[in-house]
Amino acid sequence: VNIVTKKPSFEKFTSLKTEFGNYNSRKASIYTTGPMSDALAYSFSANVNTRDGQADNPTTGNPVGDRDRFGFRSELLYAPSDDLSVRITADYDEFDEICCVVGSAAYGAANQVIGLLGGKVIPNDPYSQKAFYDFDPTSKGENAGLSVHIEKNYSNTTLESITSYRTSDNNEVQDVDFDSANVIAPSPISKELSGMTLFSVINALAPMMQFFPIFAPFKITAPIPIKELSSIIQPCNITR
């Protein structure tokens, strides 16, 4: 699957969208684009998503399952001529939530043991909107990226180069026994990912296509070995 995002436009345009719902749900997003000069255009989009928790944790007295998310994406397009374009894109998003809520479909022997130990468990009703945790589970994360996309067109050839860098940081702390008794210690999970991608593609139309239209365009892919950059970057780094 090859997804190509929309380029900034040299025509001014702005849109704004808002939504409101129950549990104090509020969503807002904005997109704007336009020219900065005859050869330079911009686009910018941002969104925010907040909501109170839709369930309760009677143990702590706090709501659970809220939403608190924010993100933006900005891009510059430099097009000094019809045969050359340079796109520089940056994006960032973050979330910090008390998540998540699970329901109980069956009250089993393990639940009875927890009850004997003085703990309360999720009711035998998946729609009760209650979750008995001995602490509030949290989910936090940040993601960011930067890319440079250069495209140069020749008479029968297109040279395309994309260089990108992305980071992702996620931290989860869950009450994995799903009850108010301190039976199993919290299980924090942290993941940090980072990577850099460099590659170039040459799309060439064979000159004989004008005589043999059945011939299709072909691609020559020339990735830059990441090993050559190992002294300055980490292609992928995962920690727990």
Distances (CA, A) of 233 to 34, 121, 144: 35, 47, 16
CA distance 221 to 224: 10
pLDDT of residue 120: 80
Q: Is the pLDDT assigned to residue 240 strictly greater than 50?
A: no
CA distance 150 to 76: 12
Task: Using a cut of 0.85, tell me whether the model's pTM lies above it.
Answer: no
Place 193 in a pLDDT band, splitting at 50, 70 and 90: confident
Among 88-97, 117-126, 147-156, name the one with the lowest average pLDDT: 117-126
**C-alpha 148, offset from chain centre:** 19
**128 or 152: whose pLDDT is higher?**
152
Q: Is the pLDDT assigned to residue 226 strictly greater than 80?
A: no
Q: Tokens for 215?
A: 């011939």
CA distance 63 to 42: 41
Query: Do the strands 55-57 and 67-81 form a parallel or antiparallel pair, or are they unpaired?
Result: unpaired
Percent of the chain with pLDDT over 70: 83
CA-based nearest residue to 173, from 84, 96, 81 = 96
pLDDT in tens, 66-107: 999 999 999 999 999 999 999 999 999 999 999 888 777 777
Q: Is the pLDDT assigned to residue 174 strictly greater than 90?
A: no
Helix, strand, or coil here: 178? Answer: coil
Contact 21, 7 (CB under 8 A): no
Place 217 in a pLDDT band, splitting at 50, 70 and 90: very low
Place 237 in a pLDDT band, splitting at 50, 70 and 90: very low
The rounded mean pLDDT for the chain is: 81
Which ranges constitute the DSSP H helices of the chain?
A: 109-116
pLDDT of residue 204: 55
211-231 residues labelled b (16+ CB within 10 A) or e (exposed) = eeeeeeeeeeeeeeeeeeeee
Q: What is the mean pLDDT of residues 119-128?
A: 77
